[in-house]
Homo-oligomer: A and B are copies of this chain.
Amino acid sequence: MTGQVFGAPLRRKEDQRFLTGSATYIDDIELPDMLHAAILRSPYAHAHINAIDTAEAEGLEGVMAVFTYKDLGPIAEPLPLLIPHPALTHPHTQYALAKDTVRYVGEAVAMVVAQNRYIAEDALELIEVDYEPLPVVSPAHLAEATSAQAPRIHADAPTNIAAHLIQQVGDIDTAFAQAAHVFRRQVQLERSASQPIEGRGVLARFDAFEQALSVWDSTQGPISIRNGLAVLFGLPRDKVQVSAPDLGGGFGVKIMLFYPEEVLVPLAAIRLKRPVKWVEDRLEHMVASNHERGQVHDIEVAMDTEGHILGLRDIFLHDTGAYCPYGIIVPQITACQLPGPYKLPAYYSEATVVYTNRTPVSPYRGAGRPHGVFAMERIIDYAADQLGLDRAEIRRRNFIQPDEFPYDVGLVFQDGLPTRYDSGNYPAGLEQALQMIGYEQFREEQYRARAQDRYLGIGIGCYVEGTGIGPYEGAHIAIDTLGEIYVATGVSTQGQGHETTFAQIVAQELNVDIEKVHITTGDTRRFHWGTGTYASRAMVVAGNAIGLAARAIKKKAINLAASLLEAAPEDLELVEGRVCIQGSPERGLSLAALSIASNPIRYAYGANAPDLPAILPAPEGPPLPAGTEPGLEATQYFSPQHATFASGVHAAIIEVDIGTGQVKIRKYVVQHDCGKLVNPLVVEGQICGGVAQGIAGSFYEHLDYDDNGQLLNANYMDFLMPYASEIPHLEIGHIETPSPINPLGVKGAGEAGCIPVPALMAAALEDALAPFAALVDHMPLTPSEIRRLAHKGIR
């Protein structure tokens, strides 16, 4: 299809592969002579390791090697701290294999490499580890972990506090002093974790002849992995290639530098000179892949008599688990994004990051935002209720207005740059959502239902999401001598549909059939500068780089054609893969011909384009004039000034069965603004997935830790996830306020769906259970808890 492809709701090119089971995940890759790794993990949340005896495991037939800390060689240092921060005064990362202490259940202690996974797992059971258990910090109340009396997780600090981060805007004390009303809540989103269909996996091959390491990694950031592996193993960067094949979901949990297995498996491949594969099983995913959420907010708002916010104070605890490999990026995002679409004349945010004997925390879809939005929307709803204001109306009164962009929130964003909203229309978004949900009509329906002992509730949730952070991404486009268009960018893909959406950008710019455009993501052999896919940034940063590269290659093709056709560039146009003289489509050259001609070599290449003269005229002067490069290729980078801020309003009507505590979602609407839509179908798919994940986080997914730091429900019998039957049909409405700070005008859309869901579900629950004066201050909620809310009125 050519013509208007940018913005068209095309079906995904990759679906053919995904829907027929022919995608290639790590576990689908079989290399000759491949070995298999399995990891021995700590059964204790906190323990000293006195000794490890691997002799019996090593003796098992089919075992090739057993690795413990002492075997780590170049990777015996603690794994890197991904993002340092001055407020992070006590950073700690783990060793690839525990050196002498384990600090969470699931921490890697030893690795067995064997001829198959069965033997490797059998050998794990033969390893004798002499553990000496230590006191566990796994508090029912996170605050206890911060006290000087709590058992210490890392010996070098006076408490378990890793960081203390304060950000503020305006004069908070005056705001509170002058307020007509002050409202306070303590609210909490509990620790949770994402559940990609495919767990993590790493396959490494070391080619002894080439002295080159190839790694296939289910990572969202192969370039960083490549760069890190090259440094750790002292290899030239060109001798290390990392690619992320098809990934069954990422959600943030797959962007680390490094998980232990990401260095252990390459180490084994180098040592054993055979390919080694490790694929995470579900139990491992539950305990050894990072978690998130897990914050307790004490939030208070100062308001005037009409419900205008004068100031907001939010003091929160962030559970970072046993280590903080990602620094303090999650609480930093929470602090910056909590204000949402509202004007806060004064704002004080204070985060305390606490070590606990639990799995480490790193960003999970939404990355700190669901927590912040939960706190903000809960206090707003509470204030409205207390003031007797409609919950929609109080929002209207506090929105940043469309004429106030760019709007400086006054905080430092996660990228170290200002939190500066670039565009948006929050009032219009709210009105659209209210219209879609039938806000006006709802109260009557609710009233009628109550008369039948049916409890309906409505909730709305607003959020602003900083997306598309830098530092940059790049793209390379090459048109080969067959006229096929190869696009490569450094970001990887975990199911976002980039093969389609990135191709739409190129097909639009070059006016070619989208089937001619081939996208490669996440393969350092094809593009090796950039960071990765996270922070809803792939389309904003890589998409714009691709757009710029497409524009550059178009210009190159037209200029080249102009010289060959002896025409002025401005008289030429690109039509169906040919550069033609406008109005004379027969006078033109195919992109294939131009690709051949772009390399100023007088030799035929085994194939000539039929429309190209066999012998090109000899040039006057150098065949490749100074400052030019051969080939119909272009590389461009896009580096945003700062994040671009998407926004949205979700609203839902639920019905609560107060007998069983079951919640039925009767209607769910999404109003969404991510700037220009490249492909509405793909954006809506992202939103649907996100909402489902938000619903999961509201009512189902719960990590049930006991006081010994044991995760009691690390399996799919006990850890609940919603089926499709629990997810309602979504109505989605778009507003497009194009971003003024990138050429495509796009904003990120990957995480949005899940951000406001717990907030609005809490609101809807409170609304449904208003007759019982229920207050919802934490999520997720089980049916028992909901039933209790209805019956006790207050938790």
Contacts and interface: CB of A to CB of B under 8 A. Distances in A.
A73 interface: no
A713 interface: no
Nearest to A604: B80
Q: Among the interface residues A31, A82, A236, A640, which one has the most CB atoms of the partner chain B within 10 A?
A: A236
Interface string A497-540: 00000000000000000000010100001100101000000000
A417 B619 CA distance: 8
Interface in A384-398: none
A234 to B, nearest CB: 7
A662 B33 CA distance: 61
Contacts of A624: 470-472, 637, 639
Contact of A622 (B470, B605, B614): B470
Given A83-B602, A529-B599, A480 B236 contact: yes
Q: How large is the interface on A (under 10, 10 to 19, 20 to 34, 35 or more residues)?
A: 35 or more
A761 to B, nearest CB: 35
Count of chain copies: 2
A602 B415 contact: yes
Contacts of A232: 606-607
A224 B33 contact: no
Interface string A223-235: 0100111111010
Given A227-B481, A471-B601, A84 B622 contact: no
Contacts of A630: 472, 474, 529, 637
Contact of A639 (B417, B482, B626): B626
Interface in A449-498: 470-472, 474, 478, 480-482, 484, 486, 488
A606 B228 contact: yes
Contacts of A29: 209
A230 B607 CA distance: 10
Nearest to A245: B209
Interface in A404-460: 415-417
B32 A482 contact: no
A86 interface: yes
Contacts of A80: 603-607
Nearest to A471: B623
A641 interface: yes
Interface in A68-107: 79-86
B472 A82 contact: no
A692 B496 CA distance: 64
Contacts of A606: 79-80, 227-229, 231-232, 257-258
A610 interface: no
The 4 nearest A-B residue pairs measured at CB: A416-B618, A624-B639, A471-B623, A622-B639
Given A227-B606, A257-B603, 8 more contacts: A29-B209, A80-B607, A228-B606, A231-B605, A236-B486, A237-B478, A625-B639, A630-B637
